[in-house]
Structure 1
């Protein structure tokens, strides 16, 4: 089973990439910061497992990531740019009956799509690798990522930035473009989350302590359930248990 790469024009003319795998019910999955669709969803078999179960898995590369445009102009990174990109892809594909989800920054982007209410409402939502602080206090870790990107290449094993630097090297990321992403972050208040009256799955690694409380996020959502899988914030996305948690939620 192979994936294809396509391009579309987003809300501001930027050329963004998306991959697809499988046929059936549309499922849009958005990757995390510093990553891309290939690394997040395809490399470790998550997309293939979902596609084999009857889903058309649609996986964009966020702007400044993967095969999408990597502009260095600050004007290319307005608030909520990533949610607007997702809305543009959903509109481009003409999706009206679909499921939506993401990992880490991709899950936060999913939250912003719901909060904005511009795109057609998905049937079900998957928020993986995202806790309450990652939604309501997006600035908490911005300083850390700014340090990784501005000091890229200078960190050595033992530095707290080292693992993020190493990951960014493996994905071939552009530190200048990725700095712009930090300016797109928008907090979503608890009262907005309380209006998400659709089924939500929150799934995360049992050792993930980077994005706040997962049960805290579940408590703010009117129809959410929580599944723990092995791993931490960086490793849980590589686990087969991620697809194993998502599938029964989407097919149940």
Structure 2
């Protein structure tokens, strides 16, 4: 087990096209694995470790596995469009499950924001955890990405020009704290396929839909929970950005997993 709540071990795996990808681990190496996937512009440390969420799972004896998405953190950040085939994030993380030899029902899976969307894509593609979590995600964020992708494209293409305190300026500031790579992230924005609404009805495993009470960035989390056949719904304080920084999020995640 890591010696402190913020000390993780770094590992690598091969992504879907052979790119070198990174994942971080905290907790009991013999514990039940739970994979947590971070959001856009973030990384595993910022989303799960910095504010103590992963430590709460580790304290329950869990093996917490936290990949850095392609174009983020310690994972590959190719500047070639060929590195961003459609559904590449799901492909990468399905490869991680395969390379860790995790068996159906023998692990749990969840994500925040883009990580929640990636989790949903993995479930639609056949991932079979015992439990799943879609956090910071609403129904519209799965069915129609147009508005959000356009927003992030404006952020990345207009770096250094955004009006102070605008949503774009705030997003750029967050990107700077995580040392994101704008060129790689711009390419990544073209790799998100739509999730058909009908596909959600087939996801019959237990799924927690978890959201900040002021978060509407990806649409309605209540509507997402209603569209899933076996969902639980939970709210914590905060908006899309602030909820991640508050202990309530980690408490809700630890209670579910």
TM-score range, shorter chain: over 0.9
Q: Which residue of 1 aligns with 2:167?
A: 160
TM-aligned CA deviation for residue 16 of structure 1: 0.6
- The reply on whether 1:50 has 2:73 as its aligned counterpart is no
Matches of 1:146 and 1:239 in 2, distance apart?
A: 28
Distance 1:133 1:127 in 2: 13
Q: Is 1:101 the counterpart of 2:119 in the alignment?
A: no
Conserved? CA contact 2:53–2:253, under 8 Å? no
Picking from 190, 197, 200, the partner of 1:190 is: 197
1:151 and 2:158 correspond: yes
Does the CA contact (< 8 Å) of 1:129 and 1:204 recur in 2? yes
Partner-residue secondary structure (3-state), 1:110: helix
Per the TM alignment, residue 248 of structure 1 is displaced from its structure 2 partner at its CA by 2.1
Give the equivalent residue in structure 2 for 1:122.
129
Superposition pairs for residues 1-252 of structure 1, below 5 Å? 1=4, 2-23=7-28, 24-96=31-103, 97-117=106-126, 119=127, 121-250=128-257
Q: TM-score, normalised by structure 2?
A: 0.95
RMSD: 0.9
Distance (Å, rounded) in 2 between the aligned partners of 1:146 and 1:189: 23
Q: Deviations over 1:200-227 (max 9, x none)?
A: 0011101111110011001110000111
Following the alignment from structure 2 to structure 1, what is the Cα–Cα distance between the partners of residues 14 and 232? Answer: 35
For these two proteins, the number of residue pairs brought into alignment is: 248
Q: Deviations over 1:85-126 (max 9, x none)?
A: 100111111111100000000000000001111x4x100001
User: CA offsets, 1:39-78, max 9 Å, x none?
Assistant: 0000000001111111100000000000111101001111
Deviations 1:141-164 (A, max 9, x none): 111100000111222313330110
Aligned equivalents of 1:151, 1:83: Cα separation in 2: 28
Give the deviation of 1:32 after TM superposition. 0.1
Q: In structure 2, the residue corresponding to 1:169 is in which secondary structure? A: helix
Distance in 1 separating the partners of 2:231 and 2:80 = 38
3-state DSSP of counterpart to 2:199: helix
**CA distance in structure 1 between the aligned counterparts of 2:145 and 2:63, rounded to whole angstroms:** 31
SS of structure 1 residue aligned to 2:98: helix
